[in-house]
Amino acid sequence: MADVTGRIIVGSVEYRDFPIEAEEDPTLFDVEVALVASGAIPEEDDFRDATWKTGGGPEVWEARILLGHAASDTDYAAGAYDAFVRITAGPEIPILAAGGITFVGASAPQIIDVDDLADSLEQDIDPDSSAAALACELASDVVRAKLRQTITLVEDDELRIEGACDDRVRLPERPVIEVASVMVDGLLFPSSGYNVIGDELVLVQDSGTFASIASGLGYLAGRGSTLDIVYSHGYAAVPPAIKGLALGIAKRLFLNPNGATAEGVLSYSVSFGDPADFPLMPFEDDVVSLYRRTVGTMTTR
């Protein structure tokens, strides 16, 4: 299935995995990842040390790297980047394309704020409380990681999908509010040629593929196409169930055994590392199951 370019907010520090295909297990060898401006070729100074994600294969493995970390020189500026994985395997040192990622400069709005937390706890909280603010921020990050969604409204978001060849394309963020434009290999695709059904772009019946219509070359142009899609998605008003999920997490972070201190709240973030690994209550898992974006071989960020 097509590989969707990932997104990360500038200032966020998180692990990202970049998949590659190999006929033999490459995890015995040193691996590096390079992110370069879209369309550029990586140079020696672009590569950063990476590790192999456990549980990969067969035939598809993932190189893992911590992005947004100043000490490892992975705090990239906003923009679109292509990813490359380099494997040092004796006489062979292959450099393999591994999708891409977009660093977004503007932070997404938090799902909850200090006022929401105070209302939920039915107690007064200093509006300037760093512990409360950090608890709300971390809880919002956890919910987004668990649901694999931005959740809050994003207008005119830019998405690139590599290798599209089907008559329907699944958009990674939902709910889809509006699709402003679709470009296929740099050519504008007519809006009359597709329908928006749920979170998918579906070609009108018997119209071929996205690439064949855009190029006018028929089905010969239907493989390996790049789609650039501008669309709006998310909730203008966050559903109560999602907001309640974030508040439950924030309350546990704020009312921690170490006391309501910024250092105490931060210890949770350090302990769990990846927000997606934060433990949930059984009833909270039910909310996640209801709203979570499912993924197969398509990567969504």
pTM of the model: 0.60
CB 173 within 8 A of CB 157: yes
Average pLDDT for residues 13-19, to the nearest whole number?
A: 85
pLDDT of residue 11: 73
Query: Where residue 255 falls among pLDDT bands split at 50, 70, 90?
Result: confident
Q: Are residues 89 and 23 in the same domain?
A: yes
The structural domain count of the chain equals 3
pLDDT of residue 297: 32
Q: Are residues 123 and 167 in the same domain?
A: no
pLDDT of residue 116: 96
Q: Are residues 52 and 93 in the same domain?
A: yes
pLDDT of residue 258: 46
Range of the domain at 172: 154-233
pLDDT of residue 262: 44
The string of pLDDT tens digits covering residues 197-241 is: 998 888 876 655 555 665 554 433 345 577 888 999 999 999 999
- Residue 277 or residue 238, greater confidence: 238
| Cβ-based burial of 293 (10 A; exposed 0-12, middle 13-18, buried ≥19) | middle
Q: Are residues 126 and 71 in the same domain?
A: no
Tell me the CA end-to-end span of the chain in Å, nearest whole number. 15
In a domain, 300, yes or no: no
Last residue within a domain, chosen from 186, 217, 233: 233
In a domain, 296, yes or no: no
Q: Are residues 9 and 99 in the same domain?
A: yes
Average pLDDT for residues 172-176, to the nearest whole number?
A: 88
Q: Are residues 121 and 253 in the same domain?
A: yes
Last residue within a domain, chosen from 217, 233, 249: 233
- Residue 146 or residue 11, greater confidence: 146
Lowest mean pLDDT among 17-21, 274-278, 285-289: 274-278
In a domain, 297, yes or no: no
In a domain, 137, yes or no: yes
Residue whose pair of structure tokens reads 């500026």 in the numeric block:
77
Show the tokens assigned to 17.
């995995």
Q: Which residues contact 128 (CB under 8 A, 6 or more apart)?
A: none
Query: Where residue 141 falls among pLDDT bands split at 50, 70, 90?
Result: confident
β-bridge partners, 101: 6, 81
In a domain, 298, yes or no: no
In a domain, 299, yes or no: no
Last residue within a domain, chosen from 74, 104, 134: 104
Query: Where residue 7 falls among pLDDT bands split at 50, 70, 90?
Result: low
Residue-wise burial string across 107-139, b where 16 or more C-beta atoms lie within 10 A, e elsewhere: ebebbbbbebbbebeeeebeeebebbbbbbbbb
Q: Are residues 8 and 76 in the same domain?
A: yes
Q: Are residues 273 and 140 in the same domain?
A: yes
Backbone angles phi and psi of 140, in degrees to 5: -65, -40
pLDDT over 60 (residue 266)? no
Lowest mean pLDDT among 142-151, 158-167, 290-299: 290-299
Residue type, 57: G
Q: Are residues 249 and 147 in the same domain?
A: yes
pLDDT of residue 189: 84
| Residues above pLDDT 70, as percent of the chain | 76
Supply the mean pLDDT for the chain.
Answer: 79
Average pLDDT for residues 119-129, to the nearest whole number?
A: 91
Q: Are residues 84 and 18 in the same domain?
A: yes
In a domain, 57, yes or no: yes
Q: Which residues contact 126 (CB under 8 A, 6 or more apart)?
A: 132
Q: Which residues contact 127 (CB under 8 A, 6 or more apart)?
A: 114, 115
CATH (domain of 28): 2.60.40.10
The string of pLDDT tens digits covering residues 57-111 is: 566 788 999 888 777 788 887 667 889 999 998 889 999 988 888 776 556 788 9
In a domain, 180, yes or no: yes
pLDDT of residue 209: 59
The Cα 157–Cα 233 span in angstroms is 8
Q: Are residues 142 and 266 in the same domain?
A: yes
Lowest mean pLDDT among 163-167, 168-172, 196-200: 163-167
Q: Are residues 93 and 134 in the same domain?
A: no
pLDDT of residue 248: 94
